[in-house]
Amino acid sequence: MKVAVLGAGAWGTAIAVHAGLRHSVCLWARDPAVSAALSSHRENSRYLAGVRLAPAIEPTADLGAALAGADLLIIATPLSGLRTMARALSAVSHAAPAPVIWLCKGLEAQTMLLPHDVVQGEWPGVAGGALSGPSFAQEVAAGLPAGLTVASTDDAVALTTIAALHHGALRIYRTDDMIGVEAAGALKNIMAIATGISDGLGLGMNARAALLTRGMAEMVRYGVAIGARPETFMGLAGVGDLMLTCTGDLSRNRAVGLRLARGEPLDAILAGLGHVAEGVACCRAVRDSARQAGVELPITEAVSAVLFDGSAPRDAVAALLAREPRAETYSSMQP
């Protein structure tokens, strides 16, 4: 099998390293200089230092060469680059392209669209799906165990993804609830920023547990309102990714929250991060989408106030604590 990984950041490189254990892989980088460095040094020193690229991985900056003969396309750009990538693929792909999956998470900032809607808008009718779940790039590249979920309404997409990536230490499960998987991937990053703020303020493990629990309630409430199934949030793409992103030391979104709690300005945090923190980019879009749908997301509102409205982290926490009490029932998770 030939796998084309489109995007040479940390996660794209990690997926290429894993796929390269069994298959031939083209790792496409937009910048020819990056591709040349990957070819000569056999290492992504900027995003995944210390991980060697196997001989089965061929870096390239030629999109046509990467796509030629590919059995699976993996879009590994940030969400901000998904529309451009889908448009480019639509322009150069043949009438019956290989199945395509995307790794990015969030809602598009300008349109409030989930990734699958972005792709369909630029590439109508393509057979596609989302790959999501608890997975730090460094650990996947190191061959440590992980489980992911591929979400698609097309069986060929799910089965091709499983054939390409379900081996070694990586397990791939499947679902047809693409809305649920993508909504979970968007909101869990926001909850990780909130948890980082809580931890950074020294509010304790009790507060962290409460945030995780009520954060899950927000994820389900929002997801069900836009057409997801509630049980999807109990799986890898939901509670699994929530736990990892909110508590793991490698979490970029949690790191943003920790630094906000220390009083650092957001612009400086993002400039020094070196990677994309998807939770920042999509927080306003999730907030606005939920308001339009009439869904109450108090933690998302609090994080948005800190990120964009100048609210101090302690004031945002105080506002959450001042909310009126309510019963904790399953119905409280519904919109």
Sequence-separated (6 or more) residues with CB below 8 Å from residue 256: 193, 196, 266, 269, 270, 273, 277, 279, 280
pLDDT tens digits for range 253-289: 999 999 999 999 999 998 888 777 788 989 999 999 9
Q: Active site includes 2?
A: no
pLDDT tens digits for range 6-23: 999 999 999 999 999 999
Q: Which of 105, 116, 188, 287 is catalytic?
A: 188
* Angle in degrees, CA 143, 147, 153, rounded to 5: 130
Domain ranges of the chain: 2-176, 186-333
On whether the 186-333 domain is CATH 3.40.1360.10, my answer is: no
Fold classification of 2-176 (topology level): Rossmann fold (3.40.50)
172 contacts 101 by C-beta, under 8 angstroms: no
Sequence-separated (6 or more) residues with CB below 8 Å from residue 173: 147, 148, 149, 150, 235, 236
Residue 298 has pLDDT above 80, yes or no: yes
More confident residue, 275 or 33: 33
Q: State the pLDDT confidence band at 220, using cuts at 50, 70 and 90.
A: very high
pLDDT tens digits for range 91-112: 887 656 799 999 999 999 999 9
Instruction: Decide: helix, strand or coil at residue 61.
Output: coil
